[in-house]
A and B are shown apart, each in its own frame.
Chain A
């Protein structure tokens, strides 16, 4: 249409005005935009720059290598092996099922493994890696690495894993490591960040557990540039991790191996100690288990088998096992009486086979009695009546005090799990523990190491060392920490009258070397290596009057669980004591028959630094000993054990 001149002018006027208003509005919006730009880019630049760096830079922990553990001669007993594993990060995976199914085509993965991984992924933060497969072969890990682009979220990794080259030998001393559990973390106040690494191995028992802070080392870290998907683009810098401190034990690998082999499949334990400095040369507990299984993740059936085994392979019997020490405790009563001056060595007591107390008769192990007994003979023949009479004179308090001086009722400072204190009973102890008054019969039982008295094989070895030296020897398990020698623990003198100590020692010598000695069969023929010792047979049940009448006291006739414990303590060489040994064979029967031969083999092995020569044994026993040694599954001295083929 045509428009009039006036209209055109009016129209131009309107659009010009409105156009300028619009321009002004747009201009002001632009000012706001510019101001916002300035605010973000200039005023807040530093803050956002920081955020951008945080976005981009991801700090990852570098797990430290765990400290190695060596024996006293420098043989490796706990090391680290290279371990190839595959991890998955949920955050980077879209279809977990598919990725895991694809992965299962490359590496051995059972449906159970996959279910387990998924369960763990569901439990953990989506950003934390979860281990899918561990201990893969080089071929398998290469397969994964090559196919990594088609497996989003899957990363092949290289790590270190604990390896115990001596397997069963050190299972109880070292314990084992295992992946840190939520339960472990809940117990720690301020967990080391390194513990957040999935399946990071920490000590679960034994030395591994007790020295965890030193062995663990310090985590390093690396700063890596990541993209929004979390993929690593490049490494920007790294602080190396600090290896854990190495630890040297006082244990002698050869001796430890011999001890474990000698104990064999029995439910038994043994401690060999250097009496001059307290060094524990062998700490054997049988049966044992392969700690490597725990590191690799033990199967449920395997674990249940260990758990339900009546021989308790998981327990470190040398420190956890508490037994009535039986006759091995008689030296405590004897020394208490001697030191107190209540008896003299020549004084005799007549053993008629029992001691009569009002309402109760206490039997000697020898039914007909030993006749007249002096101190030395009472030890040699292990006369119970002599000690019943002694107990009546000395009283429980002095016996208990002596027991404590000799190292009983005390958890010794050795870094092993569940070091038990045992019991050296007193009147107040019984009152507190059982709410009952002490009766005289309790003292009688205590004098022969029965009743309330409980001791561990370690304590028996400590007692023997203290009797052999008269010094306050304390057990030492750690020889050096991070290259620094720990102080020896030979101890100062306990202040016993040397002649009293001599009486005890002579009695112990007679046990293994004189006619009628309870362990004469386990004597050492070579005079340079003679052993003094004491047998012990501790009852785990009460013999009823009925049984006594019927004569059913033969151990062989009883079920294993009700048989007596067999014990033996000894030291050698007699003239210049160097080694103390204690052996406990659970439900092994008599100490002289079941424990003393083991103790002799062990103390000879300690003196000879390996399998003892037959010349050290009485001629009549050599053939039997030789064939026994041949059957023992010993590892070559010092060298690494033959690699076992894993199925």
Chain B
């Protein structure tokens, strides 16, 4: 039985595709986005127009985008993966040369109705392209050095470009997302073991060298690393945000201080309270119960994605779905770790909750891909 044969016979067509959508996932995403609306309403001091309303419009646009992409057959998407990747690289090069410099380091391309951050889009197209690459590659060749080197280069190019912006958060997400896809595709454990082991050894060596005569970094470089890793050593500088953030989280207690009652966000002690640090307001106002519930919602999204992926026999579709799930996970895990003082502060938004257009639309686009993979899965016809 050929690939094309069963595809055509068993794949839903037209409007009936809607019935085969992963509806629980749609519901979950809407629920998470609603938490975002609520919190944006709260941090704006009970004002809908400031952040909540624009965010709702974007989510509506995002839903439309998701449904549209969901209807596109997955094999078409696979075929354009390379083009999409190339287009994103070009856009990154574009911001390098033509982009507006806004808010310091951030670079955008103004599309008229919204400003596109190509590095956001890159997170998805990279996963897409790598999935397509592994779908194309003979499974037996997956772990051969040459065929491992190629995806590494595919990852390295956009990472280099985003680092130049400089956008450390996105670069890290690209590295972890990309290598994650390689892992999903089945690249041998050995590579990961060696890389992780090597990295650990290097870091250990660098830190062990401190204070000895063969010191590998200059003292001031160490001090920079210190403040990056532990902002509390600089409580009025970079540590200020994280300290205030922890205070907000901690003061929430079990059930929080109540909706719109968080003193930390109300009185502007929280930095970036509507974007990267919105989780702190949620935790402050709804406590452990609220914060943990959001974590559960996120985990449920992952669970549905993983189930969809492992029940899908299309290699591209399942790698793509898992890759997107991983990217989504990286978003919220890095963001939460950051605001809880577990990770250094790198600008990563809380997915679907933080205020911001690019991230929201790109994520919805990504879930459009997941839906497409879900709808167009190979089915044994009866």
Chain A residues near B (Cβ < 8 Å): 1-3, 5, 7-8, 10-12, 14-16, 18-20, 22-23, 26-27, 29-30, 32-34, 36-38, 40-42, 44-45, 47-49, 51-53, 55-56, 225-229, 233
Contact = CB atoms under 8 A, between A and B. Distances in A.
A37 B264 contact: no
B38 interface: no
Contact of B318 (A19, A29, A30, A229): A19
Interface string B297-332: 011001100100110010100110010011001000
Given A10-B139, A11-B315, A30-B333, 16 more contacts: A3-B3, A15-B185, A26-B329, A36-B340, A36-B342, A37-B249, A37-B295, A41-B249, A41-B253, A41-B283, A45-B254, A49-B253, A52-B263, A52-B264, A56-B267, A226-B267
A37 B250 contact: no
A53 B315 CA distance: 55
Contacts of A26: 302, 325-326, 329, 333
A460 to B, nearest CB: 64
A33 B335 CA distance: 11
A47 B253 CA distance: 10
Interface string B242-259: 001011111111100000
B344 interface: no
Contacts of A49: 250-251, 253
Given A15-B186, A55-B263, A228-B269, A37 B253 contact: no
A229 B267 CA distance: 9
A228 B277 CA distance: 15
B268 A229 contact: yes
A45 B3 contact: no
Contacts of A55: 244, 247, 263-264, 267, 269
A55 B246 CA distance: 12
Interface residues of B, number: 52
A41 B2 CA distance: 56
Contacts of B248: 48, 52
B250 A48 contact: yes
Contact of A233 (B185, B254, B267, B292): B267
Given A41-B249, A51-B250, A3 B295 contact: no
B222 interface: no
Nearest to A225: B267
Given A51-B250, A228-B269, A14 B139 contact: yes
A181 to B, nearest CB: 29
Nearest to B263: A56
Contact of A47 (B250, B254, B263, B336): B250
A226 B264 CA distance: 10
B183 A227 contact: no
A202 B33 CA distance: 61
B147 interface: no
User: Which 7 residue pairs spanning A and B have beta carbons closest together?
Assistant: A48-B250, A52-B251, A227-B267, A14-B186, A41-B288, A45-B253, A228-B268
B351 interface: no
B318 A12 contact: yes
Nearest to A229: B268
> Which secondary structure dominates where chain A touches chain B?
helix
A52 to B, nearest CB: 4
Contacts of B124: none
Interface in B66-98: none
B180 interface: yes
Contacts of B342: 32-33, 36
Contacts of A16: 310
A544 to B, nearest CB: 75
A22 B315 contact: no
B329 A34 contact: no
Given A10-B139, A41-B283, A2 B318 contact: no
| Residue from the set A12, A18, A48 with the largest chain B CB neighbour count within 10 Å | A18
B291 interface: yes
A397 B309 CA distance: 116
A88 B267 CA distance: 21
Contacts of B303: 23
A127 to B, nearest CB: 12
Nearest to A3: B3
Contact of A44 (B2, B3, B250, B306): B250
24 contacts: A7-B139, A11-B315, A15-B184, A15-B186, A18-B185, A18-B186, A19-B310, A22-B184, A23-B302, A26-B329, A29-B333, A30-B298, A33-B333, A40-B246, A41-B250, A41-B254, A41-B287, A41-B291, A52-B250, A55-B263, A55-B267, A56-B263, A225-B263, A227-B269
Contact of A30 (B185, B287, B295): B295
Interface string B151-180: 000000000000000000000000000001
Nearest to B248: A52
A8 B251 CA distance: 52
Contact of A40 (B180, B250, B302): B250
B215 interface: no
Given A40-B250, A48-B249, A19 B336 contact: no
Contacts of A47: 250
B209 interface: no
B337 interface: yes
Nearest to A233: B267
B191 interface: no
B313 A8 contact: yes
A51 B136 contact: no
B260 to A, nearest CB: 15
A15 B309 contact: yes
| Residue from the set A3, A15, A16 with the largest chain B CB neighbour count within 10 Å | A15
B184 A18 contact: yes
Contacts of A56: 263-264, 267, 269
B333 A2 contact: no
B376 to A, nearest CB: 15
B269 A18 contact: no
A225 B263 CA distance: 10
A161 B257 CA distance: 44
A229 B269 CA distance: 8
Contacts of B306: 19-20, 22-23
A12 B186 CA distance: 11
B310 A33 contact: no
A23 B184 CA distance: 11
A22 B180 CA distance: 8
A20 B183 CA distance: 12
A543 to B, nearest CB: 74
Contact of A15 (B4, B249, B251, B315): B315
Contacts of A1: 136
A89 to B, nearest CB: 16
A15 B319 contact: yes
A191 to B, nearest CB: 26
A45 B250 contact: yes
B7 to A, nearest CB: 11
Nearest to A226: B267
Interface in B221-276: 244, 246-254, 263-264, 267-269
A2 B2 contact: yes
A223 B139 CA distance: 70
A16 to B, nearest CB: 4
A48 B252 CA distance: 8
Contact of A45 (B251, B295, B315): B251
| Residue from the set B1, B184, B298 with the largest chain A CB neighbour count within 10 Å | B184
Nearest to B294: A37
Given A12-B318, A41-B287, A233-B267, A51 B251 contact: yes
A472 to B, nearest CB: 65
B350 to A, nearest CB: 12
Interface string B40-80: 00000000000000000000000000000000000000000
Nearest to A17: B186
Contact of B291 (A23, A37, A226): A37
Given A15-B309, A18-B184, A38 B288 contact: yes
Nearest to A44: B250
Contact of B183 (A18, A30, A44): A18
